[in-house]
């Protein structure tokens, strides 16, 4: 009897794992559009599936992040950081030794210094400056990385909270991944590949409200 119980328990665990991982959404490629102009404040969500960075026995799971580009003609502030006109800022959650939480401008440095995230996909929409308060509030409430609340979960959450119902992305099961996020992005006919992030500043994060600069390891 005991072997049957063990087998049944294993089957239930496998079934539960599959249920959590299965994406129950359906996706229609190119079925939606976003009306946005190359001016004002531009909110973008970017996802990279990691396939071209994976190696035999070493799987790269990819990454997802949010960015705000400022083309208003004047500086804007996010937290205590000034984003000058014609510049940009990126942010997402990371599990790094110094900070398990939101890190700003790390992705552009990985791109420029190490050639990372080739093939990344981005969806962009214009937002009003009043939405910056919602962005700051979301960051303050969610300044942490968790296994179940990873970069994809975090980025989708911020995007949906700021854009509302108009351009809401499909949420997933308990397992959020950049690959699934890309499926949501590909539903739009205006997704950009390898979006430029060269106009971002230095890398930093906040601990107890205090800004801390971060350097990439050479």
What pTM was computed for the model?
Answer: 0.88
Model confidence pLDDT, tens digit, residues 155-202: 999 999 999 888 999 887 778 999 999 999 999 999 999 999 999 999
Q: How far apart are CA 118 and CA 133, in angstroms?
A: 32
Q: Is 66 helix (H, G, I), strand (E, B) or coil?
A: strand
The pLDDT tens digits of the residues spanning 102-125 come to 999 999 999 999 999 999 999 999
> What secondary structure letter does DSSP report for 55?
B
CA distance 60 to 55: 8
**pLDDT for 73-104, tens place per residue?**
999 999 999 999 999 999 999 999 889 999 99
At 157 the three-state DSSP class reads helix
CA distance 121 to 108: 14
Q: How far is Cα 129 from Cα 155, in angstroms, rounded to an integer? A: 19
Q: Which residues pair with 192 in a beta bridge?
A: 122
Contact 91, 66 (CB under 8 A): yes
Which residue(s) pair with 91 in the sheet? 66, 104
Residue 14 parent element (H or E): helix 2-21
* Per-chain mean pLDDT for the chain: 88
Residues in the chain: 218
53-75 pLDDT tens trace: 988 878 888 999 999 999 999 99
Cα–Cα distance between 13 and 124 in angstroms, integer?
39
In whole angstroms, what is the distance from residue 105 CA to residue 13 CA? 39
By three-state DSSP, how is residue 26 classified?
coil
Query: Could you give the count of Cα atoms lying within 13 Å of 129 in the half-sphere of its Cβ?
Result: 11
């Amino acid at each position: 009897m005991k072997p049957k119980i063990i087998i049944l328990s294993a089957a239930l665990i496998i079934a539960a794992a599959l249920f959590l991982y299965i994406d129950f959404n359906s996706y229609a490629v190119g079925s939606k559009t976003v009306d946005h102009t190359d001016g004002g404040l531009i909110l973008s969500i970017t996802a990279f599936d990691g396939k071209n960075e994976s190696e035999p026995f070493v799987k790269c799971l990819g990454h997802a992040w949010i960015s705000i580009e400022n083309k208003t003609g004047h500086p804007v502030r996010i937290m205590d950081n000034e984003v000058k006109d014609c510049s940009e800022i990126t942010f997402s959650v990371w599990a790094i030794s110094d900070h398990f939480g939101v890190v700003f401008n790390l992705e552009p440095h990985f791109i420029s210094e190490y050639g990372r995230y080739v093939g990344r996909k981005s969806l962009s929409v214009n937002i009003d400056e009043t939405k910056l308060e919602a962005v700051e509030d979301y960051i303050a409430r969610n300044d942490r990385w968790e296994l179940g609340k990873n970069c994809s979960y975090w980025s989708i959450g911020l995007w949906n909270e700021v854009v509302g119902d108009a351009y809401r992305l499909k949420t997933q099961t308990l397992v959020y991944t950049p690959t699934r996020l890309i499926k949501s992005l590909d539903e739009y006919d205006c997704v950009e590949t390898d979006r430029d992030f060269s106009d971002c500043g230095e890398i930093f994060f906040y601990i107890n409200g205090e800004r801390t600069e971060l350097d990439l390891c050479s």
